[in-house]
Structure 1
Amino acid sequence: MARNAGKRTSTKLVFLLSCAGLLGAALIADFLWASSSSHSHAYASIASNWVLEKSGTVVVPNKEKAEAVKSKNNSVDARILSGTFADLPGPELKWEKMAPAPVPRLDGSAVQIKNLLYVFAGYGTIDYVHSHVDIYNFSDNKWVGKLDMPKEMAHSHLGMVTDGRYVYVVSGQYGPQCRGPTSRTFVLDTETKQWQRMPPLPVPRYAPATQLWKGRLHVMGGSKEDRHEPALDHWSIAVEDGKALEKEWRTEIPIPRGGPHRACIVADDRLMVIGGQEGDFMPKPGSPIFKCSRRHEVVYSDVYMLDDEMKWKTLPPMPKPNSHIEFAWILVNNSILISGGTTEKNPITKKMILVGEVLRFDLNTMKWSVYGRMPYRIKTTLAGFWDGWLYFTSGQRDRGPENPQPRKVVGEMWRTKIHL
Structure 2
Amino acid sequence: MGRSPKHRSTIMYLLFVCLGLFGTFLVADLFWASSSSYKSNWPTSPQLNPNLENLDHNASHKIGGVFENPKKEKPVRLLSATFADLPAPQLEWEKMATSPVPRLDGAALQINDLLFVFAGYGTIDLVHSHVDIYNFTDNTWGGRFDMPKEMAHSHLGMVTDGRYIYVVTGQYGPQCRGPTARNFVLDTQTKQWQDLPPLPVPRYAPATQLWRGRLHVMGGSKENRHTPGLEHWSLAVKDGKALEKEWRTEIPIPRGGPHRACVVANDRLYVIGGQEGDFMAKPGSPIFKCSRRNEVVYADVYMLDDEMKWKVLPPMPKPDSHIEFAWHIVNNSIVIVGGTTDKHPETKKMTLVGEVFQFQLDNLKWSVVGKLPFRVKTTLVGFWNGWLYFTSGQRDKGPDDPSPRKVIGEVWRTKLSL
Residue of structure 2 in register with 1:410 after alignment: 408
2:188 aligned with 1:193: no
Residue of structure 1 in register with 2:182 after alignment: 184
Aligned amino acid, residue 99 of structure 1:
A
Residue of structure 2 in register with 1:132 after alignment: 130
Distance, in Å, in 2 between the alignment partners of 1:86 and 1:189 is 43
Q: Decide which structure has the larger Cα Rg and report it.
A: 2
TM-score (norm 2): 0.81
Pair 394,83 (structure 1): closer, same or farther in 2 beyond 3 Å: farther
Pair 274,320 (structure 1): closer, same or farther in 2 beyond 3 Å: same
Instruction: Tell me by how many angstroms 1:82 deviates.
Output: 3.8
CA contact 2:91–2:414 (8 Å) conserved in 1: yes
Distance, in Å, in 2 between the alignment partners of 1:112 and 1:251 is 29
Does 1 or 2 have the higher relative contact order (CA < 8 Å, sep 6+)?
Answer: 1
Classify the secondary structure of the residue corresponding to 1:176.
coil
Residue of structure 1 in register with 2:201 after alignment: 203
Pair 305,318 (structure 1): closer, same or farther in 2 beyond 3 Å: same
Q: Superposed, which structure 2 residues align to 1:2-401 within 5 Å?
A: 61-62=42-43, 82=80, 84-401=82-399
- Percent identity over paired residues: 79
Distance, in Å, in 2 between the alignment partners of 1:264 and 1:141 is 27
Pair 333,63 (structure 1): closer, same or farther in 2 beyond 3 Å: same
Distance, in Å, in 1 between the alignment partners of 2:390 and 2:257 is 24
Pair 284,60 (structure 1): closer, same or farther in 2 beyond 3 Å: farther
Distance, in Å, in 2 between the alignment partners of 1:113 and 1:300 is 30
Residue of structure 2 in register with 1:36 after alignment: none
* Uncovered stretches (5+) of structure 1, i.e. residues with no partner: 1-58, 65-80
Distance, in Å, in 1 between the alignment partners of 2:117 and 2:189 is 16
Aligned amino acid, residue 296 of structure 2:
V
Instruction: Tell me by how many angstroms 1:262 deviates.
Output: 0.1
Pair 63,324 (structure 1): closer, same or farther in 2 beyond 3 Å: farther
Distance, in Å, in 2 between the alignment partners of 1:374 and 1:84 is 19
Aligned amino acid, residue 259 of structure 1:
G
CA contact 1:173–1:179 (8 Å) conserved in 2: yes
Distance, in Å, in 2 between the alignment partners of 1:292 and 1:95 is 34
CA contact 1:60–1:82 (8 Å) conserved in 2: no
Distance, in Å, in 1 between the alignment partners of 2:44 and 2:153 is 39
Instruction: Tell me by how many angstroms 1:173 deviates.
Output: 0.1
Distance, in Å, in 1 between the alignment partners of 2:164 and 2:311 is 30
Pair 60,391 (structure 1): closer, same or farther in 2 beyond 3 Å: farther
Higher mean alpha-carbon deviation, 278-287 vs 82-91, is at 82-91
Distance, in Å, in 2 between the alignment partners of 1:209 and 1:323 is 12
* Uncovered stretches (5+) of structure 2, i.e. residues with no partner: 1-39, 46-78
Instruction: Tell me by how many angstroms 1:247 deviates.
Output: 0.2
Pair 84,388 (structure 1): closer, same or farther in 2 beyond 3 Å: farther
Distance, in Å, in 1 between the alignment partners of 2:41 and 2:205 is 28
Distance, in Å, in 2 between the alignment partners of 1:374 and 1:264 is 22
Instruction: Tell me by how many angstroms 1:119 deviates.
Output: 0.3
Pair 181,190 (structure 1): closer, same or farther in 2 beyond 3 Å: same
Structure 1 runs, 4 residues or longer, greater than 3 Å off: 59-64, 81-84
Q: Could you say which structure has the higher helix fraction? A: 1
Classify the secondary structure of the residue corresponding to 1:171.
strand
Pair 163,84 (structure 1): closer, same or farther in 2 beyond 3 Å: farther
Number of aligned residue pairs: give it. Answer: 347
Aligned amino acid, residue 187 of structure 1:
V
- What is the CA deviation profile of residues 140-187 of structure 1, one whole-angstrom value per residue up to 9, with x for unaligned ones? 111121110000000000000000000000000000000000000000
Distance, in Å, in 2 between the alignment partners of 1:340 and 1:277 is 15
